């Protein structure tokens, strides 16, 4: 999706560009039209003055040069006339250039004049007592065209400055107006990693319904998860007593039961207890549902290693390698990480001969965990099977086969990945990749 700010900015630029172009061009056009109207009046007055310069004589009309403006005598002065009254007179300023005499009123287009000038021409027909007179008067319009061009570019330049200023001001207003959205996005990120349970409702009225609905849905989801977890936990605890009674009855009746039937009953009861423990574990796997304590590598790993040392004694040494990028707090629930790493390390310690190695690193936006041991390892064809619940390749090792299955459940909750491979120590290497939840 495109940025709202970018879309609004492009919209403002487009609208203001069209506005500036229209204003610049329209202003020049309107001013040109008004000026031509004014100059038409001026040229009509010039025609009237030329009419007064036509005097009757013995041989007809003649032009009294003393009544003519001196500009008409100066070469290429920018003011010109042509008079057709049987005899044709034209201004000295015109030199040998011709003016059109075949129109009435202002000419629609500019006429090419001397010295590359552009002439605005007005023509008129007058009936005098002696005879009919046709007069064309012109003025150089080129300086005004140049002034219009400069004005147009000036308007466009000022419009560009106005566009830039408006865009910067608009972006400032947008950042200020969208600040609650950025805060809500940050709060949603905190909610995602479990640092808060609801969004702040101190938002503009336009966002109030959205935030209220999100908080309402969040409370509903939280209640559903809590009821689900409580229901599974209650069911598991409710089954513990009947299972214990059945185990006691079977143990008391072991002398009266055949060995094969006794073994089958004990196996089924063990499977039922494992399933119950599994349900209790899964009831707890909801890291997004509550704002709990984050896992700290510096504080929680030493405690976990100390617990493993008490369980396995000095038979196995655990070596920990934490890269500096992963040495701080992790954005995951502390209990979940203790469960995940505890099962990984406990499983490795059970099978290791002398050595287990734990590596933690942060690569881009992924947390990488790797646990290796120097035990017998697992054949490639059996690696996928040991991730299933209750699967153990060696029945002589204590446990119910739930460790790696619980690891798989936790990794699935965090949308991660588990990979089993041969370790450099000779045994099994379990690699876990978890997306880093900022």
Give the per-residue pLDDT at 122. 86
Predicted pLDDT at 331: 77
pLDDT band at 308 (very low <50, low <70, confident <90, very high): confident
pLDDT number for residue 126: 83
Q: Which of 337, 236, 266 is nearest to 296 (CA)?
A: 337
Quick one: how far is CA 334 from the chain centroid? Answer: 32
pLDDT of res. 326: 81
Q: By 3-state DSSP, what share of the chain in percent is helix, strand and coil, each rounded to 5?
A: 55, 20, 25
Q: What is the mean pLDDT of residues 102-121?
A: 83
Evaluate whether 70 touches 145 at the Cβ level (below 8 Å).
Answer: no
Fold of 4-147: Beta-Lactamase (3.30.450)
The residues spanned by each domain of the chain are 4-147, 208-283, 293-435
pLDDT at 193: 61
Residue 405 has pLDDT above 60, yes or no: yes
Helices and strands (DSSP H and E) totals, the chain: 8, 15
Give the mean pLDDT of 265-270: 77
> At CA 74, angle to CA 73 and CA 77, rounded to 5?
120
Q: Which residue has the higher pLDDT, 229 or 313?
A: 313
pLDDT greater at residue 393 or residue 252: 252
pLDDT tier at 371, thresholds 50, 70, 90: very high
State whether residue 390 is helix, strand or coil.
Answer: coil
Q: Do domains 4-147 and 293-435 have the same CATH topology?
A: no
Where helices occur in 288-367 by DSSP H, the ranges are 297-312, 334-351
Computed over every residue of the chain, the mean pLDDT equals 79
CA atoms of 376 and 232, how far apart (whole Å):
37
Say whether pLDDT at 289 is over 70: no
At residue 403, the pLDDT reads: 60
Residue environment code for 243-276, b if the CB has 16+ CB neighbours within 10 A, otherwise e: eeeebeebeeeeeeeeeeebeebeeeeeeebbbb
Check pLDDT > 50 for residue 389.
no
Q: Domain 293-435 belongs to what topology?
A: Heat Shock Protein 90 (3.30.565)
Q: What is the mean pLDDT of residues 178-207?
A: 75
Residues 147, 153, 155, 161: is their CA dihedral positive or negative? negative
Distances (CA, A) of 108 to 31, 37, 50: 16, 12, 23
Q: Kindly indicate the confidence band of residue 372, based on its pLDDT and cuts at 50, 70 and 90.
A: very high
End-to-end Cα distance, the chain: 21
pLDDT at position 283 is 55
Q: What is the pLDDT of residues 43-66, one digit of tens each?
A: 888 888 888 888 877 677 778 778
């Amino acid at each position: 999706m495109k940025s709202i700010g970018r879309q609004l900015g492009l919209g403002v630029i487009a609208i203001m560009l069209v506005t500036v172009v229209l204003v610049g061009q329209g202003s020049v056009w309107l001013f040109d039209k008004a000026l031509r109207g004014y100059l038409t009046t001026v040229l009509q007055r010039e025609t009237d003055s030329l009419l007064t310069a036509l005097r009757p004589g013995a041989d007809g009309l003649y032009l009294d040069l003393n009544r003519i403006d001196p500009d008409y005598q100066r070469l290429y002065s920018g003011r010109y006339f042509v008079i057709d009254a049987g005899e044709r007179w034209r201004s000295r300023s015109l030199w040998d250039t011709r003016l059109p005499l075949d129109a009435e009123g202002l000419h629609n287009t500019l006429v090419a004049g001397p010295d590359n000038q552009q002439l605005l021409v007005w023509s008129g027909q007058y009936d005098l007592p002696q005879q009919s007179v046709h007069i064309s008067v012109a003025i150089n319009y080129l300086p005004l065209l140049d002034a219009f061009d400069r004005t147009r570019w000036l308007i466009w330049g000022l419009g560009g400055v106005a566009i830039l200023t408006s865009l910067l001001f608009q972006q400032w207003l947008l950042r200020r107006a969208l600040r609650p959205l950025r805060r809500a996005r940050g709060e949603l990120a905190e909610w995602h990693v479990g640092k808060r349970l609801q969004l702040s409702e101190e938002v503009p009225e336009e966002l109030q319904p959205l935030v209220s609905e999100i908080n309402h849905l969040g409370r509903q989801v939280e209640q559903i998860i809590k009821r689900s977890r409580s229901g599974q936990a209650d069911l598991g605890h409710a089954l513990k007593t009947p299972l214990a009674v059945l185990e006691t009855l079977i143990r008391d009746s072991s002398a009266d039961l055949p060995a094969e039937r006794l073994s089958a009953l004990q196996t089924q009861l063990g499977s039922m207890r494992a399933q119950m423990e599994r349900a209790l574990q899964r009831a707890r796997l909801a890291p997004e549902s509550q704002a709990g304590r984050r896992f700290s590598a510096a504080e929680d790993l030493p405690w976990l290693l100390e617990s493993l040392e008490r369980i396995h004694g000095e038979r196995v040494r655990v070596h920990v390698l934490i890269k500096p990028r992963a040495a701080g707090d992790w954005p995951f629930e502390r209990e979940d990480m203790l469960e995940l790493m505890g099962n990984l390390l406990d499983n490795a310690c059970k099978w290791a001969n002398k050595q287990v190695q734990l590596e933690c690193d942060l690569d881009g936006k992924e947390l990488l965990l790797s646990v290796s041991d120097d035990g017998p390892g697992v054949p490639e064809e059996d690696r996928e099977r040991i991730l299933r619940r209750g699967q153990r390749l060696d029945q002589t090792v204590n446990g119910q086969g739930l460790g790696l299955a619980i690891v798989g459940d936790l990794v699935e909750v965090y949308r991660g990945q588990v990979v089993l491979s041969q370790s450099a120590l000779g045994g099994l290497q379990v690699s876990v990749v978890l997306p880093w939840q900022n």
